[in-house]
Amino acid sequence: MTHSARSMAGLPWIAAMAFFMQALDATILNTALPDIARSLNRSPLAMQSAIISYTLTVAMLIPVSGWLADRFGTRRVFILAVTLFTSGSLACALSPTLSVLVTSRVIQGVGGAMMMPVARLALLRAYPRSELLPVLNFVTMPGLVGPILGPLLGGALVTWASWHWIFLINIPIGLAGIFYARRYMPDFTTPPRGFDLSGFLLFGLGLVLLSSGLELLGEQIVNSLLAVGVMLSGIVLVFFYILHARRHPSPLIALPMFKTRTFSIGIAGNVASRLGTGCVPFLMPLMLQVGYGYSAIIAGCMMAPTAIGSLLAKSTVTQVLRWLGYRSTLVGITLIIGVLIASFSLQSPTANIAAMLIPLFLLGMAMSTQFTAMNTITLADLTDEHASGGNSMLAVTQQLAISFGVAISAAVLRYYQNTPGDTLDHFHYTFLTMGVVTVISGLVFTLLRRHDGRNLIANREKRPAKDQA
């Protein structure tokens, strides 16, 4: 087998590993924060810095990942990213104080910012557009399971081992990723271009302030007006970046790619639709523990049907897209997701457990279908010139959209807490509101045309078997 053929066979597995590590790390820490706080002799409220430091580092450095991969090669940068992420994980597990833990999380964030964007960029350059759908379909599976598995695995490790294992679990996965990347990842480069330092500072700091504002708003760390002010400052810096990019000959994120209609709609759809889907991993375990009185382990297990549904849907999403097309699929599936989210407002602790598990299973299938369709249509029509920047922009959008979903749902929940009713009623009102928001977000996908994405779902049965690897 040639090096190229081996790379094509192993590359999706490497990207899937990176997606899983990043998705798992985003949620596994939350359940362990009280135990970490006790171990480090700190208040649990002070532990938010361990989360925020990682989020801000990722938000700031994602835009640089594309330039680094273009300049130094996808294999080198990916191996560096996994090495930093794994080393940061080990440093986190060995941290004796909160300040050391925060520093270690920053190291993790540097690796995390490059890991998945560079892996997806390699896929984008390795596969023709007609092969991209099944490949990205496979790669996103562990990314869907990670956020669901995170709270369950975190609770189990803290209960039966120690909090150190939520970081140590990354080490064998990371070492395997480095080994296989050296063997199977192609080393794509592009002609060197200058680094847009001014653009990086404007765009990166803008994202940091926007992410910081979202974190502050969602966690109620400071006054809400101050959090909104931080977010607005970030938006202003991003606006100044747009003015800068129009004049710069080689900007960090090129604006002409937004003239690609499917890319612009996909980015807008990611932001709008993830407001609803991003709230479920946050609200559901909270409602099960605070509203129903379940333990953390039981609440984590209740989310398992969502992961199972996500995995099962991967075998059908390509056929669904062939039958219905991207436009009808995305509009319809977003409507279904909104209805399912709103249906959680009808749940109660006295109801049959199947009444909750079945909607969670269906929600997992629907979200899996939506994410696969949404991400592939976003990248489908980008030229090779804009592939790197477009991929980085998609990664940035996903990072911010998930934060938006958590922050907005937390704000809605806080609003209802000031209205009559008990705690469970407040959760019900919040789920109903976020369901309506999700249904409305489906309007973004009506801007797609019926033929959009046709190059992604062309029938592949007649291709030689070696081309389908």
pTM: 0.77
Cα(213)–Cα(407) distance, rounded to whole angstroms? 9
Model pLDDT, residue 178: 92
The total of other beta-carbon atoms located within 10 Å of residue 259's CB is 9
Nearest alpha-carbon partner for 399 in 22, 21, 11, 6: 22
Model pLDDT, residue 78: 94
Model pLDDT, residue 465: 36
Helices within 94-219 (DSSP H only): 98-126, 129-160, 165-168, 170-184, 197-219
pLDDT grade for 220, boundaries at 50, 70 and 90:
low
| Residue 437: pLDDT over 50 | yes
- Domain range 254-469, its CATH number among 1.10.1740.10, 1.10.645.10, 2.60.40.10, 1.20.1250.20: 1.20.1250.20
pLDDT in tens, 107-143: 999 998 888 888 888 888 888 777 777 787 777 777 6
Cα(131)–Cα(275) distance, rounded to whole angstroms? 29
| Residue 149: pLDDT over 80 | no
Q: Across residues 376-393, what is the average pLDDT?
A: 80
Cα(236)–Cα(438) distance, rounded to whole angstroms? 27
Model pLDDT, residue 458: 62
Model pLDDT, residue 14: 87
3-state SS string for 57-102: HHHHHHHHHHHHHHHHCHHHHHHHHHHHHHHHHHHHHCCCCHHHHH
Residue 451: strand, helix, or coil: coil
Cα(97)–Cα(113) distance, rounded to whole angstroms? 24
173-192 burial, b if ≥16 CB within 10 A, otherwise e? bbeebbebbeebbbbbebee
Contact present, 55 and 215 (Cβ < 8 Å) = yes
pLDDT in tens, 302-352: 777 887 888 788 788 888 988 998 999 999 999 999 999 999 999 888 877
CATH number of 1-195: 1.20.1250.20
- Spell out the domain ranges in the chain: 1-195, 196-251, 254-469
Q: Across residues 226-230, what is the average pLDDT?
A: 86
C-alpha distances (whole Å) from 304 to each of 194, 217, 269, 461 are 47, 29, 26, 34
Cα(135)–Cα(463) distance, rounded to whole angstroms? 15
pLDDT grade for 265, boundaries at 50, 70 and 90:
very high
| Residue 460: pLDDT over 90 | no
**Residue 219 neighbours by CB under 8 Å, 6+ apart:** 48, 410
pLDDT in tens, 35-70: 788 888 876 656 667 777 787 788 788 888 888 888
Model pLDDT, residue 3: 44
